[in-house]
Chains A and B, each alone.
Chain A
């Protein structure tokens, strides 16, 4: 196929030299007009929203996220207890009228702590996802699209980064930047962008060969335009799914770090910290695990339903 193309090109070239150029006037048509679609612009995003609204589960997810977010903001003020307020004579109390979720082993109100923890966990999850999205899409997009040697180098580099023990750079950051929220975000961001990049690259590799890229190329579109107008919207599906799945991953890894004692500093606590503390007393004070675990699950459910809905809503082939 290659050689034929070249041959044709050469022939055309030769022919061009024979015909008088002055007989031809270039059309004054905007450069990329040829590849505009004929339909009126419905607006990609309003179409997405319209389709999303129809997806029941996704809307449930969205509603749950809204409720949880509101509670995370407002909840700590509702109970009248502070999240760090200890009452050493009321430790490990079952849920009752004044302590709606019970108390922990230092007599602190779990209701307040769960919602305060929600703030931290949600923040960690969302921010990490955003960071990874940005870095991963960029890296994976360029790598997949460029192909060949550039792709090779970029992927080898990715493997190198991927195989460094995760905890090593978390520890490194903890030491240089000091422990806490900021360090966790950086460490999580740097770890998870690679999954995103891999998925994007995989998608781009397959899509690169598909018809509409050839078509766009044929119409004279440049690399940047192909990336933004065609490749990215068409790879959106798996990317959004991955980004949505990143939120729980980030929250989990933070829980794992808390399990190892590297999470946020006391008396702050994320859901992960509360859950890993709760596991130890599962057989005696089960409510200490139940509430944080419940809200982790609900939040994950919510994000996933939303992610599914978005996937359906964003698939351009499902456009009506």
Chain B
């Protein structure tokens, strides 16, 4: 099993009446709600959390990309990944990911991912999302019906830029470059690639064609994810793929651990409520720009089947959220049991652990993070022993990696000869 500690980085200062007074947490979120001075502490605490997770032995620490979004403060995940890469020295740096069609020209992704992979000594796990419609279309103005074609071209260009050892010309529809010669190249060429998907057959096939891991980054929990991931495994079987390694799939789950079930509710309930009530308040018109989904996907009924009802979750009790699987919460034993259900039920080898939730403060986050690392994770390690040798979907770092030097002060800088 691979456990990635993942933080969406929500803005923790949304007012209690946010849902009532504001239209949307995303796209046209009220700019006055952001305060850069508070933001300074928020970013630094969130980076502390990621570094703490590295120290606690998580396999990966994860960041992602959202724009104009008060529950995701990372327009540039690569900046966050760079910020942690010299202080978190063991975990994979999981960037899930760069929305390819938004980088112009897309070789920027090839360059920045290569830089991250080289700085971290081959610890990059790369994500290639299409990006949500909110981010891609409404915030970044990409034309919905052309987003996927642009994405595909960007993907092909990035892979070629990593692969080729001679300069080449790229005459694409969306990108024209006379001299493509990406410097530096990644250590892992290519790095393991994960694709966040939302249930379309095209994305299942894209992952299977390219040997990419399919990730379902849902906030509605593992019970509701069953049909979607089953669709992926069915497709894999239909195509007669050589193996059904669980590392071909990943899932994001909100997890809260305490000493007892009751303590979990007492400690985390308000923060979970903050997330579901305030952070997921999205104006319905921004959910899907027409043309963003393929006709095939709409016709498959995937949307009505898979699209979660966050309106409902916004007002759910702790008990309902736990029972509905939106969150896995409780004592280490409770959490382990539910995690086993998740891992076996969805057949996943990669878990993106959403351990920081809503406006959870640093100390509580550390508490839950540590309990999971010490009392849950070790007991879930061997869920898929027959696939232990599947290295395709995780990073392969250099055995001998550079150690960052100590933080310099004046005395050290002048060699102590003051």
Report whether chain A binds chain B: no
B residues at A contact (CB < 8 Å) = none
Spell out A's residues near B (CB within 8 Å). none
